[in-house]
Amino acid sequence: MTPVIARTREELAAARKSVPGTLALVPTMGALHEGHLSLMREARARADGVAVSIFVNPLQFGPGEDFDRYPRTFEDDVAACARVGVDVVFAPTRDVMYPAEPQVTLKSGPMGSVVEGASRPGHFDGMLTVVLKLLNLVRPDVAVFGEKDAQQLALIRRMVADLNVPVEIVGAPTVREPDGLALSSRNRYLSPDERRTALALSRALRAGADAAAAGAGPDAVLGAARAELAAAAAAEPPLEPDYLVLVDPATFTEVTADHAGPAVLAVAGRVGATHLIDNVPLQLTKEH
């Protein structure tokens, strides 16, 4: 089935009316991979119709980031959407999403200024602004996001709760390559050597998860993960770690040594010119 392609607000409104029953939205920036397709399958399981947005949002890219070189593969993306039965693809231009320079935007607050937000100031402000605009334009009953972007998902849930947005937010599990690397549109930037180094991110998470499963507390979990990152920092090409943190999944504040309960082990680093993030959910016990 070939999806209806809507590029303007008017075309989107008409396409929205043509989908009977409930609608699930999967917001993306394109360059679709199997991780995105898993979100679409989850969306299909939760609603009668599925819409996918494809828009590289300039508001969430900072100075010197990869907005201009971010991969844009629209024809391949539409073909991928067709394979999983997407009904509508909303692919607006910048002028459609931002007819004028935005004067009123969202602020992600303290929760958006830590972890990934600390190294990318303003990123989550831009992300929340475009997500709210997409929710208002598409008017879905359900919106599906990947758990790989755990801080983004937590912030979207908080935004929906704080602003009373009438949509159900669903998180779908991270999809990984057979070698453990989390699927990302940015993986295509990596050379073979850089990719080998990047595997340290998922190894660090696995080491931390194994420690937590064995009953280790927060300090030991972080220690196990740091050992993997330290080895990669000495590799060629090296991994330049950005952060490795254990945080509360709802607030993204760092947990204390006596924390017990759910947590997220989140990691980020740069290999060559490519910034990569990953995380894993954990259940922590108190250290004795």
**Beta pairing partners, 142:** 24, 168
Say if residues 279 and 256 touch (Cβ distance below 8 Å): no
**Annotated catalytic, 259?**
no
Residue 112 marked in a binding site: no
Residue 283 marked in a binding site: no
Residue 36 marked in a binding site: yes
Secondary-structure percent of the chain, ordered helix, strand, coil, rounded to 5: 40, 20, 35
CB atoms within 10 A of CB 199: 17
Hey, CA dihedral for 154, 123, 113, 118, is it positive or negative?
positive
Residue 146 marked in a binding site: yes
Beta strands across the sheet bearing 168-172: 4-6, 88-90, 49-54, 23-28, 142-146, 168-172
| Angle at alpha carbon of residue 262, lines to 60 and 269, rounded to 5° | 40
Residue 148 marked in a binding site: yes
Residue 32 marked in a binding site: yes
Residue 152 marked in a binding site: yes
Residue 184 marked in a binding site: yes
Residue 123 marked in a binding site: no
Residue 258 marked in a binding site: no
Distances (CA, A) of 95 to 17, 83, 92: 23, 29, 8
| Residue among 36, 123, 259, 275 flagged as catalytic | 36
Residue 127 marked in a binding site: no
Helix axis angle, 218-233 relative to 192-213, nearest 10°?
Answer: 160
Residue 39 marked in a binding site: no
Residue 141 marked in a binding site: no
Looking from the CA of 106 toward its CB, the CA atoms found within 13 Å total: 24
Cis peptide before 3 (omega within 30 of 0): no
Residue 50 CA to residue 45 CA, distance in Å, equals: 10
Residue 227 marked in a binding site: no
Residue 214 marked in a binding site: no
Task: Name the binding residues for beta-alanine.
Answer: 60
Task: Name the binding residues.
Answer: 29-36, 60, 146-149, 152, 175, 183-186
Task: Name the binding residues for ATP.
Answer: 29-36, 146-149, 175, 183-186
Task: Name the binding residues for (R)-pantoate.
Answer: 60, 152
Residues involved in catalysis: 36
